[in-house]
Amino acid sequence: MSDTHAQSVAFVRTKEIAAKAPPVTDSGAVKWVRDNLFSGPFNTIMTILGIIIVAYLLSGLIPWIVNGTWEGDNIQECRAILAGNGGGCFAVIADRWPQLLFGFQYPDYLRWRPTLAFLLLFLAVPPALFIMFLPRWTLIATVVYPFIAYYLIWGGTILSPLVAALALAGGYLVFHRVERRGFVQGLGAGVVAAILIVWIGGFIASAGSNVLALETVESRAMGGFMLNMILGVVCVSLSIPLGILLALGRQSSLPIVKGFCVVFIEFVRGVPLITLLFVANVVLAYFLPPNANFDLIIRVIIMITMFSSAYIAEVIRGGLAALPKGQYEAGDSLGLDYAQNMRLIILPQAMKISIPGIVNVAVGLFKDTTLVSVISMFDLVGMIRGPILSSTQWTGVYWELWAAACVLFFTVCYGISQYSQWLERQLRTDHR
Amino acid sequence: MAMADTNTPPAQMQVSDEVAITIKGMNKWYGQFHVLRDIDLTVQRGERIVICGPSGSGKSTLIRCINALEEHQQGSITVDGTPLSSDLKNIDKIRSEVGMCFQHFNLFPHLTILENCTLAPIWVRKTPKKEAEETAMYFLEKVKIPDQANKYPGQLSGGQQQRVAIARSLCMKPRIMLFDEPTSALDPEMIKEVLDTMIQLAEEGMTMLCVTHEMGFARQVANRVIFMDAGQIVEQNEPESFFLNPQNERTKLFLSQILGH
């Protein structure tokens, strides 16, 4: 208040208060330490206690890593080299690395094929994850990749993946044509077209089974971390679109669609994944014709995909429910039809809200792929528990092997988690 | 918000004989609750109608029925000669010709202002992107915010957002505009800028149905004021007579309450 008005109750500002910088207080590392570590007696005790625990853990871990040996052909040699210095016997990882990655049945002279497929993954995934920085045509790499990867890993004639790709393209084209009459009709017609192409193409592929054929590797030869990666990548990329469809279906006003989606989601969520895997392994065989050679990996993929799509559907349902009704109405009132409204307005927003939940399911799914070890598939965990630990050379080398498994899984899961956080920041448009 | 006194309307504001909307014997229920009762209403092209009434009287529901955001159970609604039935084609046709502005704007927060405006023309009208953007800029200039085109709705004030919402509707070149309490969620300072935009629109001869409590606006641009209560049209008249000489007791009470302070 200026002096002229000091005595009166009425007040008129005559001079504007200029904006000033906030007060400068002590800052820097010392302040941070004082504020965050030693801000009171209790916190000081907790800090010291924490330091002691960390130091104790490191005092065991560091010698284990530093003194460890990467040499030796079996546990006895390893122990002789270590001579009780507390180091780890990492020789087992060096010795069995190819087995940890590819399993023990994949022919070693063909290992370049899954390796190449893995490297190509780094070309195929970025267009899908970083489309905002890349031209749209790069998505072709993502679309074509599954067929190339199948061809490389399993081998056989190139006609089979080609037929599958054609079926997908044909199904999409038909869907695109018929979609105008309605989304459900379009989807139905697309699926029928795809099945038709697969059926006809199946004859052609079996007739020309030597066309550009790579040496075939059977599904039961797949193993190691490769198997986890195959299951993880395939199931995540299948279960997200399926989850979207289930979530939309659950909201549908058509009673049959809605009923199917509700029953499916509730049933799958109510059953343990292990049970589904046993069903895939044993029980499905009863329902299939006796000669049907229905690949075990495909059965497992179906089960894991079903399982995680139900969870993803529920996550997305949460995202859909979080959107104000006005967003649906705004789209409607502009004359957008159902599919356009969902694709352009509702799903981009609902998916953005659902990112943390979807990533949660995806990371969980990836780790759950190790459950296939209980149905006698030799994935990374299966390899360690079975062939490696029960071998005479390496029996009893637990810590090193499980640590290796942890590192492999952690790398992938941490990557997924970092990506999702980055994506959330990218998509944030509501700030100033 | 008080408005300037009524002058004689400009030439474009004249009402034509052509019928824009016909509602006959329309009834609507929410479960057992009878929200709209025997609504009969004919709107001429170029008419500007203000609908007012206490909350819960069904005024929003009425205009939401016109573009089928709400379903009515009895009676008929015809918009621009297209009957509103459960036929999705008719509904989409009507929706693309009837613009609507909401109380809470309902802009798409994940799209820029420009994308908000071009989305429907590109996907519904199949307008080429460049042309849609030109149209969008034309209407954004009209509502006086062309410089915000590349921002996101979250970065704009409420009044600016509502004006974008109006521009977004106009980009579809609608023949009728519906306004559902467009200024109720705004600060007093921003109400005027939105009302000015609406007045400008009225002066260009747009057919408008507007649910609002801005009585100054009603006086200045409406050529009919409808008062609703308990799901019924209680009274309708020209603004002058409506405000100075209300007939129904309920109308008198309502007017004394909203004008009495």
Q: In what order do the strands lie in the sheet with B224-229?
A: B98-101, B176-180, B207-211, B48-52, B224-229, B232-237
Q: Residue A342 corresponds to which tokens in the numbers above?
A: 């969902």
List chain A residues with CB under 8 Å of B96. 334-335
Nearest to A330 among B96, B106, B152 (CB): B106
* pTM (two decimals): 0.82
| Contact across the interface for B109 and A349, Cβ inside 8 Å | yes
Task: From residue B179, give the alpha-carbon distance in Å to each of B83, B104, B212, B221.
Answer: 21, 11, 8, 14
Interval B120-145: pLDDT, tens: 999 988 889 999 999 999 999 988 88
pLDDT tens digit sequence for A372-404: 888 888 888 988 888 888 888 888 788 888 998
Surface of B (141-180) touching A: CB under 8 A: 152, 154-155, 168-169, 172
Asked whether the beta carbons of residue B152 and residue A430 sit closer than 8 angstroms, the reply is yes
Q: What is the mean pLDDT of residues B161-190?
A: 90
Radius of gyration of chain A measured on its C-alpha atoms: 29
Q: Which of B82, B86, B89, B95 has the highest number of chain A CBs within 10 A, making it the mutation to test binding with A? A: B95
Q: Does B40 touch chain A (CB under 8 A)?
A: no
Return the exposure string of A27-41: e unless at least 16 CB atoms fall within 10 Å of the residue's CB, then b: eeeeeeeeeeeeeee
Return the domain boundaries, chain A.
Answer: 108-426
Residue B241, chain A, CB below 8 Å: the answer is no
pLDDT of residue A51: 94
- CA A215, distance to chain mean position in Å, is 30
**Helical segments of B47-157, H only:** 59-66, 88-97, 113-123, 129-142
Segment A83-102, tens digit of pLDDT: 777 788 888 888 888 888 88
**Best mutation target, B65, B108, B161, to test chain A (most A CBs within 10 A):** B108
Quick check: B4 pLDDT over 60? no
Angle at B100 between CA B97 and CA B104, to 5 degrees: 160
- Give the count of beta carbons closer than 10 Å to the beta carbon of residue A147: 18
0.90 surpassed by complex ipTM? no
pLDDT tens digits along A2-61? 555 556 678 888 888 888 777 666 667 777 787 888 888 898 999 999 999 999 999 988
- Domain at A108-426, CATH homologous superfamily: MetI-like (1.10.3720.10)
Q: Which two tokens stand for residue B195?
A: 């009302």
Instruction: Answer yes or no: do A332 and B95 touch at CB < 8 A.
Output: yes
